[in-house]
Chain A
Amino acid sequence: MRSPDALASSSAPHPVVRVLAADGRAVVQDLGRGGLAHLGVSGSGAFDRAAHRLSNRLVGNPEHAAALEVLLGGVRLALPAGCWLAVTGAWGLVTLDGELLDPHTAVRTSLPRELELGPATHGVRYTVAVRGGVAMAETLGSRSRDTLAALGPAPLAAGDVLPIGPEPEDPVPPADLVPVDPPTTGLAELDVRPGPRLEWLTADARDLLLGVEWQVSARSDRTGVRLEGARLDLARHGELASEGMLRGSIQISPDGAPTVLGPDHPVTGGYPVALVVTEASLDRLAQLRPGQPVRLRLVAGRP
């Protein structure tokens, strides 16, 4: 039974998560730091925000509580007894003391347990929430690691001790399982709308951008997801003065490849933005696997 009272009586005064193994690609994230672009600081925050919110809801946390974003796996964590946890986002080989853990399910450790995040088979980014949240110190109002600006808690490393925050007000909700499909491994579609410099592309390049089946490059990270498969020619040349960038801006690099900017994008950039991924499609970007086919679909009509 999921009684919060039982939890309170069994938890240690200062419970912590100990990192037993990590490969430098797992980071702490909350919903980011908005409104600081004029200082050169971008939003950062969870790449897959829906997965982040869901993991927190499953353990009764506020949606913005800090959780762990684990890229591809390779992480082992020692959890204390009486710790509620939930893993969302990517699907893969996730075990608790060697037993497979179902995705999108809140579980409570009756004893100290070892959580292992093995290779992801669907999507690439796991979100691991613990009840109370990961209580690292805040930087500029957020616990998010901005990997480009090097703000917020350093990426997880073996030996790290992550404090768990105080018991939240809300109980762990009674729903045992939230039915969410795993991230697709097939063709992913991203809805896009025109960006400010679409006309910098030749007509052929515009057709290619929206017609080609792109492939996700292995050279993708929280700064941007690079797409490969065709070379886009610019109709206009010359340098573009730096202008503001957003999560989801699709920049055309000088080598003719589109890059979709992620949460740790630079605040300003000098490559033309041809398209912008819609708000509703942004989370999908977080789970694209290297080599996965992607199609950009232009949404018609005014937003």
Chain B
Amino acid sequence: MRLLPYGDRALLAEFATQEAVLGALAAWQDAPPGVLELVPAARTVLVRIDPGVLGLRHLEHWLTTAPRAEAALPAGTEVEIPVRYDGGDVAVVAQAWACSPEEVAERHAAREWVCAFVGFAPGFPYLVPADGTAALPPVARRSTSRTTVPAGAVALAAEYCGIYPRSSPGGWQLIGTTDAALWDAARGDPALVTPGTRVRFTRVVP
């Protein structure tokens, strides 16, 4: 882990792998008072503090001495998400994976995924294969973003699988659609998938 400066209200902890990020996130849940927020991402956790309660020096000390579950993915809740594999970019993904369009659905649904972080929009999960060895070849983003991606679109970019909670512009490759409500601000748990949640995609034939 490497600690990087982030102004007067935060530190950025950087890790070598996505798994280490999730391990640290799980281990840091009992953070000291004054830690306002942990923001996980691909290789980093941003730790935001209230400087009136906890100084940056104290935070640095705590982060370097707190226990860390390196490389251990926490066991989160499990969610099943039904998908129609009808996305407009299945052929592009098939090429990247060197398989047939039919096999894209099979390979995608065969894996168990885990949510590494949520970003881009409320409730938009960045999913990675739960078993690190089950990684699929990375998929390049579209060279030009679509102005509108429909809500429920299941999409791939780089090492991630994402699901668009609402209609928005987007540059990821679309492989399918789900009716699952990824985000509902009026719900007790507004995000269906949060960091650590395990996701199984089940194939729905339209």
* Chain A interface residues (CB < 8 Å from chain B): 34-35, 37-41, 139-140, 149-151, 192-197, 241-246, 248-249, 266-268, 273, 275-279, 299, 302-303
Q: Answer whether residue B121 sits at the interface, using C-beta atoms and an 8 A cutoff.
A: yes
**Which among B38, B44, B122 has the highest number of chain A CB atoms within 10 Å?**
B122
- With A39-B194, A40-B121 known as contacts, the answer to whether A243 contacts B41 (CB < 8 A) is yes
Q: How many residues of B contact A (CB 8 A)?
A: 40
User: CB-nearest residue of chain A relative to B118?
Assistant: A40
Once bound together, how far apart are the Cα atoms of A192 and B5, in whole Å?
Answer: 12
Is B190 on the interface with A (CB-CB < 8 A)?
Answer: yes
Residues of chain B contacted by A244 (CB below 8 angstroms):
10, 12, 39-41, 44-46
CB pair B5–A193 under 8 Å, yes or no, is yes
Q: Are B37 and A266 in touch, CB under 8 angstroms? A: no
A193-B7, A195-B5 known; A38-B40 Cβ under 8 A = yes
Contact across chains for B123 and A39 when beta carbons are under 8 A apart: yes
B41 touching A268 by the CB < 8 A rule? Answer: yes
Would you call B61 an interface residue if the criterion is a C-beta within 8 Å of the partner chain's C-beta atoms?
A: no
Q: Which residues of B contact A40 (CB under 8 A)?
A: 118-124, 191
Q: Which of A41, A151, A268 contacts B117 (CB 8 A)?
A: A268
Chain A residues lying within 8 Å of B123, measured Cβ to Cβ, are: 39-40
- For B38, what are the chain A residues with a Cβ–Cβ distance below 8 Å? 37-38
List 5 additional A-B contacts (Cβ < 8 Å) besides A149-B121, A196-B14, A242-B42: A139-B186, A241-B41, A268-B39, A268-B41, A268-B119
B56 adjacent to chain A (CB < 8 Å) = yes
Q: Judge if B36 is at the interface, Cβ distance under 8 Å.
A: yes
Check B39 against A37 for contact (C-beta < 8 Å): yes
Could you tell me the distance in whole angstroms from the C-beta of A133 to the nearest C-beta in chain B? Answer: 21
B40, closest chain A residue (CB): A38
B37 touches A37 (CB 8 A): yes
Q: A196-B12, A303-B8 are in contact. Are A39 and B39 (CB under 8 A)?
A: no
Contact call A38/B51, Cβ cutoff below 8 A: no
B36 touches A243 (CB 8 A): no
| One of A37, A140, A267, A302 near B185 (C-beta < 8 A) | A140
Residue of B nearest to A35 (CB): B37
Most buried by A among B8, B48, B185: B8
Question: Smallest CB–CB gap between A153 and chain B, Å?
Answer: 12
